[in-house]
Amino acid sequence: MPPILPDFSNSVKLKYVKLGYQYLVNHILTLTLIPIMAGILLEVLRLSPDELLKLWDSLHFDLVQILCSSFLIIFIATVYFMSKPRPIYLVDYACFKPPVMCRVPFSTFMEHSRLILSNNPKSVEFQMRILERSGLGEETCLPQAIHYIPPNPTMEAARGEAELVIFSAMDSLFEKTGLKPKDIDILIVNCSLFSPTPSLSAMVINKYKLRSNIKSFNLSGMGCSAGLISIDLARDLLQVHPNSNAVVVSTEIITPNYYQGNERAMLLPNCLFRMGGAALLLSNRRSEHRRAKYRLVHVVRTHKGADDKAYKCVFEEEDKEGKVGISLSKDLMAIAGEALKSNITTIGPLVLPASEQLLFLITLIGRKILNPKWKPYIPDFRQAFEHFCIHAGGRAVIDELQKNLQLSAEHCEASRMTLHRFGNTSSSSLWYELGYIEAKGRMRKGDRVWQIAFGSGFKCNSAVWKCNRAIKTASDGPWADCIDRYPVHIPEVVKL
């Protein structure tokens, strides 16, 4: 029996139907007001000059009414502008590029693993399987202390790595922005696993002889999402301290945290984490408006620490032999998915256009009232953002977010290529990804960027930026000498 109705999907291009719906809903106010204003204008044009004069005369104004109205308008405008949050600008940022002597090709990594774990070939084989599927390339770097056999993770070596990474990033930031150390009002340093005394923020103050009244903070133990936590802290401080500059440094020091035991859950970070760091200049000064690269729009933080499984899914502890390492739970991806769901539930109403919010609301009501088996509507975040910076925590993390958020390969390209070139650099990975987008010449004025990061605890944090000006392709930075080779094809398995 022939179909009663034609195949709608073939007869109509649904893509254009959806675009028409989005335009109609997103501009409903404008489309409603234009006919009303046009009608009012036509009615006014129909009136004769005498009728217009009579209409004006019928409006009686006295001095008291005018003064009261003016005072009310001025009062409302004053309250509005005083309560309006100060705009926070990202003037510029700099990423650390590890020296070539720190490079760890697959062959070197596996050779060291065989020598260090010679008594446990199964652990060596496990690391090889992880590395084959990790998405990392041959140019990622580990600090010098890890190149020794066996590794030599002393306090001196850890401080040496911290100085190399942080000072190199800071020097690059000073050069790019023209900022002088004495002009820094707020300093925030985040490093999750290395927390010496004096702190890393004190180390920076000592190196650059910063002012004695500087407001300094050192964040530790907050995982790979600590970079966005630092941004949130800087934003809050800049709201209450006018005309100020804040420098944020995000890094992870690998030297004291390289696991030398046999527990598989603790060997995984060895295969993924690599050297990296970034320094950022944030400011609320109006004079920085023109040259600033981005303006901070939103920061949304989600913490699942009340749940025991979430709290322990990334956990620093000792193994059976007393060796300290970071244990990653098998439930990590499921917990990350729940944290992401909570985070996008909060950020969605802030960034999604009305068309997507309406579809989500209709589906939600339908599931509650009509049929609970209805498939939930996943908002199209591509309508809200032009660029996505997903924390390069590993191939599985990027794959899962690409699937859940229905992103294209190009949307995830910056994250995958950052993982391939630099590995998981923890909280600083988001800035290598943003650097990749800029190096490719894809960033335009007005473009919106969504940064998503996950961290121990368990946390999912988001930051939304809006490009403030046209950004030229950088001639320096960590991507300068290799951007022409990217993107590269990353196979599912690299046979070693």
Q: Which two tokens stand for residue 155?
A: 């306090």
Among the listed residues 191, 218, 271, 391, the single catalytic one is 391
Among the listed residues 257, 313, 343, 387, the single catalytic one is 387
Question: Quick check: helix, strand or coil at residue 278?
Answer: strand
Gyration radius of the chain's alpha carbons: 27
The pairing of strands 387-390 and 314-318 is unpaired
Q: What residues contact 34, with CB distance under 8 A and at least 6 apart? A: none
E strands along 142-193, which residues?
Answer: 186-190
d(CA 377, CA 362): 9
d(CA 168, CA 32): 56
Let me know if 262 is a catalytic residue: no
Residue 363: how many other CB atoms lie within 10 Å: 16
Let me know if 27 is a catalytic residue: no
d(CA 254, CA 194): 8
Q: What residues contact 458, with CB distance under 8 A and at least 6 apart? A: 303, 304, 305, 307, 310, 311, 313, 314, 335, 336, 339
d(CA 116, CA 40): 83
d(CA 230, CA 249): 8
Among the listed residues 245, 262, 284, 424, the single catalytic one is 424
Sign of CA dihedral 487, 491, 492, 496: negative
d(CA 254, CA 146): 8
- DSSP secondary structure string for all residues of 462-490: EEEEEE-S--PPPSSSTTTTTGGG-S---
Assess contact for 131 and 495: CB atoms under 8 A: no
d(CA 425, CA 432): 9
Among the listed residues 313, 420, 461, 468, the single catalytic one is 420
The one-letter amino acid at 212: S
Let me know if 391 is a catalytic residue: yes
Among the listed residues 191, 245, 270, 303, the single catalytic one is 303
Assess contact for 425 and 276: CB atoms under 8 A: yes
DSSP 110: H
Cis peptide upstream of residue 121 (ω within 30 degrees of 0): no
What does residue 452 show for φ and ψ, rounded to 5 degrees? Answer: -125, 130
Among the listed residues 102, 224, 313, 412, the single catalytic one is 224
Residue whose structure tokens are 């070139």: 421
Cis peptide upstream of residue 198 (ω within 30 degrees of 0): yes
What does residue 196 show for φ and ψ, rounded to 5 degrees? Answer: -80, 175
Q: Which two tokens stand for residue 216?
A: 């300094």
Let me know if 298 is a catalytic residue: no
**208: closest CA among 255, 251, 249?**
249
Catalytic site residues?
224, 303, 387, 391, 420, 424
